[in-house]
Amino acid sequence: MDKPFKQVMEKEVRYFNRDISWLSFNHRVLLEAEDEDLPLYERINFIAIYSSNLEEFYKVRVAEHQAVASGGRSQELTKEEAHALILRITGIVNAQLEDRVRIYEQQLLPALRAHHIVFYQSRQELLPRHREFVHRFFLEEVFPYLAPVKVEKERVRMFLRDKRLYLAVRVRRKEGGKEEYYILKMPYSKVPRFVELPRIGEDYYLMFLEDIIKDNLHEVFIGYEVDASFCCKISRDADVFVDDVSPENMVERLKEKVKKRKIGAIARFVYDRKMPADFLDFLIDAFDINREELVPGDKHLNLEDLSMLPNPNPDIRPVEKPKGLRLPGLDSDPHFMYRRIARGDLLLYYPYLSFDHFTHFLYEAVHDPHCREIMITQYRVAEHSEVISHLIAAAHNGKKVTVFVELKARFDEENNLATAEMMRKAGIHIIFSIPGLKVHAKVALVLRTDKDGKPIRSYAYVSTGNFNEQTAKVYADVGLYTCNPVIVEDMHTLFRTLGREVTEPQFKRLLIARFNLLPELKKRIHHEMELARAGKPGRIVLKMNALQDLGMIEELYAASEAGVQIDLIVRGICCLIPGRPFSRNIRVTRIVDSFLEHARVWYFGNDGHPYLYLGSPDWMQRNLHRRIEAVTPVLDKRLKQQLVDMLDIQLRANWKACWVDDRLRNVFKRNPNEPKVRAQYDFYRYLQEAVGRSVK
């Protein structure tokens, strides 16, 4: 059980704070690094994921609160509330970083040593042979790229770039004189951060580049005595606001904003916590840093780089995750997806099944003489994407291709701009972002006609995940393929709405945020309440990434008080407080494992005749009110049962699953008297059996 979430602010009687809840989730990620049952390098990677998550959190959420605390406007917080929240976040993060230091230094480094990998932490540890190697390596490979810059408060301040690791050095002239301070940028673009040293016997040796530099600073500062050196870095505000401009001007405005991201306001200044107070005071003054922006860190910062830690020992088993299954026939039948969907709706679960099924689906459309048009949304797309290649090939084959490109996908703006320009040059019709809205729906449509131009069977696809071959290997998502004519027509209406051809759309099956999604969700919840009041079982299971919308939380509280049994499977933010009198029938499960749980699947019991839905939105204020999201009902009984089985496995999980309690603690579900259930791996085996049955 984790510890940093013992206090809930008095005013949060009915809701957890969104950011504090997210910190609880990120701490759960960190706790994976403690699991000795995991492969060693997977444990190390969870340190990297935790660190990367925290970096983005400061660049976006904390930066926003700092702007409000400095006098900026906000509909959520007053200046005083923002200031108090920042202090609270700082306290929790500091406690978590203590855990990170403990896990890294007391568990992971000894585990590496036990596997004959010695990770040197200082010059004092170096064996004589390695001292000579390190000194020679420094002179030949590192020294030419070092450029110390003197820091002088009275002169123009040096600009510290976002996320760059710097070494702050304090020196004195040997013949006497006052202290001087210098900044060195770590030359990671020229030299790898993790340096492999010569093997000795059974042992392999690694060293951080910054430690090599620290141990050889006397070669840099000739004529000086090096007093001390510590790493530091800046995280800058990375949010981009372009909602107030027309589509015609959005591209240029976005380009300007993205360029300025690297020079945004300081969100945090992270420094080695062993840095003396007077050293830190000098840097604060010299770089005009607010003390609220200070975050004490480890000796080694930017630990997200641990995801690239070399594994020199071939005896250490690599991290093996389930490989994507392929439906029988996919590799031999050029029309496999068309034929399979024509027989009935198809659910595919990534990464348990290969994303090649979707790219094959596009390939079939490219070469289908009856396909006249392909429509698709693009939110986050992989570099060198096969999806984009197929869309370009379709345009070259004379198909009409329409792609809605969401330019405001945070941190993917530049990639989306470049991809959109490439597609436009290929003849693809590009629809850009809608002012004031994000289009977060993950949908695709293949429209077909016969030789006389009359509509024939067409295909629609609704997913919980992006059209991204890379993330599809690590994000656990689900997508529905269908040729149901009502859903096809609804999706065509959605794309015509995005293209501004329709202003008041009507949808019969699809649920679209800002149109018919919220009324349908409330209707389903209220129906379960009516069942419970009538003495029948009321049942709701909701799987999503985040639950923050206060209106929908109140709906769930009301359902709980009416006697509806509610299970929430929420990976990240959950502002609903379980286990209180108003939520006594609500339980919250969190699963963190090899894959990132990303699917949104909703179950409403309906007295034994359940409704099941899947789609793109979480229950966040932004998703339900300020985005275009798409949700589809699952109509096929067999596919419904698959989803029910998936949810059941996740709720029965007692390994990698935990309860989130009424104090935001992650309470692991561990019962030695029950068979071990690891949801992701058990569901993979479930799908293996299903694919095996289809072969027979």
How many Å apart are CA 141 and CA 152, to the nearest integer?
29
pLDDT of residue 317: 84
- For the cut 90, the answer to whether the pLDDT of residue 651 exceeds it is yes
Q: Confidence band (pLDDT; 50, 70, 90) for 584? A: very high
State the average pLDDT over residues 201-220.
95
7 pLDDT tier (thresholds 50, 70, 90): very low
Residue 358's pLDDT is: 97
Residue 135 CA to residue 197 CA, distance in Å, equals: 12
> Rounded CA gap, 58 and 301, in Å?
15
Rounded to whole angstroms, how far apart are CA atoms 216 and 396? 58
Determine contact, residues 52/310, Cβ cutoff 8 Å: no
DSSP 339-384: HHHHHS-EEEEETTB-THHHHHHHHHHHT-TTEEEEEEEESS--TT
Cis peptide before 351 (omega within 30 of 0): yes
Lowest mean pLDDT among 247-251, 353-357, 386-390, 428-432: 247-251
* pLDDT the model gives residue 117: 97
Tell me what pLDDT residue 266 has: 82
DSSP code for 576 = B
Q: How many helices (H) and strands (E) does the chain have?
A: 20, 28
Contact of 115 with 310, CB cutoff 8 Å: no
pLDDT band at residue 252, thresholds of 50, 70 and 90? low
Q: Which residue has the tokens 């480890």?
A: 298
The backbone torsions φ and ψ at residue 315, rounded to the nearest 5 degrees and listed phi first, read -80, -15
Q: Is the pLDDT of residue 384 over 90?
A: no
pLDDT tops 80 at residue 250: no
- Catalytic pick from 440, 492, 527, 609? 440
Residue 508 in tokens:
């019969």
CA of residue 74 relative to chain centroid, distance: 25
Report the range out of 15-29, 50-64, 180-194, 303-317 with the highest average pLDDT: 15-29
Q: Which of 94, 66, 55, 88 minimizes the C-alpha distance to 233?
A: 55
What tokens does 7 get? 């206090």
Per-residue pLDDT tens digits for 586-607: 999 999 999 999 999 999 999 9
| Least confident window among 381-385, 547-551, 568-572, 689-693 | 381-385
Torsion (CA) 664, 665, 671, 672 in degrees, nearest 10: 170
Q: What is the pLDDT of residue 124?
A: 82
Q: pLDDT at position 335, please?
A: 95
pLDDT exceeds 70 at position 617? yes
Report the candidate in 286, 269, 259 with the shortest Cα–Cα distance to residue 235.
269
Q: Which amino acid is at 258?
A: V
CATH architecture of 517-695: 2-Layer Sandwich (3.30)
Q: What share of the chain in percent tops pLDDT 90?
A: 76
Of all helices (H) and strands (E), which one includes residue 204? Answer: strand 203-208
- Is residue 100 within 8 A of residue 47, CB to CB? The reply is yes
Can 83 be counted among the known catalytic residues? no
Spatial distance between the Cα atoms of 268 and 271, rounded to a whole number of angstroms = 10
CB 128 within 8 A of CB 198: no
Determine how many CB atoms are found less than 10 A away from the CB of residue 203. 15
Token code pair at residue 614: 């899947």
- Return the ∠ at Cα 620 (arms to 2 and 302), rounded to 5°: 50
Most confidently predicted of 403-417, 426-440, 513-527: 513-527
The region, left, alpha or beta by phi > 0 then psi within -120 to 50, assigned to residue 235 is beta
Residue 408 CA to residue 433 CA, distance in Å, equals 7
Residue 9 has what pLDDT? 40
Contact 573, 546 (CB under 8 A): yes
Instruction: Give the dihedral sign, CA 30/31/32/38.
Output: positive
Fold assignment, 124-305: polyphosphate kinase like (3.30.1840)
**Mean pLDDT, residues 246-268 taken together:** 61
Cα–Cα dist 391/362, whole Å: 8
Q: Are the folds of 124-305 and 517-695 the same? A: no
Q: Comparing 184-188, 353-357, 462-466, which segment has the lowest mean pLDDT?
A: 184-188
Q: What is the mean pLDDT of the chain?
A: 91
Q: What is the pTM of this model?
A: 0.92
DSSP code, position 140? I
Residues 336-509: name the CATH superfamily.
Answer: Endonuclease Chain A (3.30.870.10)
- Quote the pLDDT of residue 240: 52
In the chain, domain spans:
124-305, 336-509, 517-695
Q: Average of pLDDT values for 674-692?
A: 94
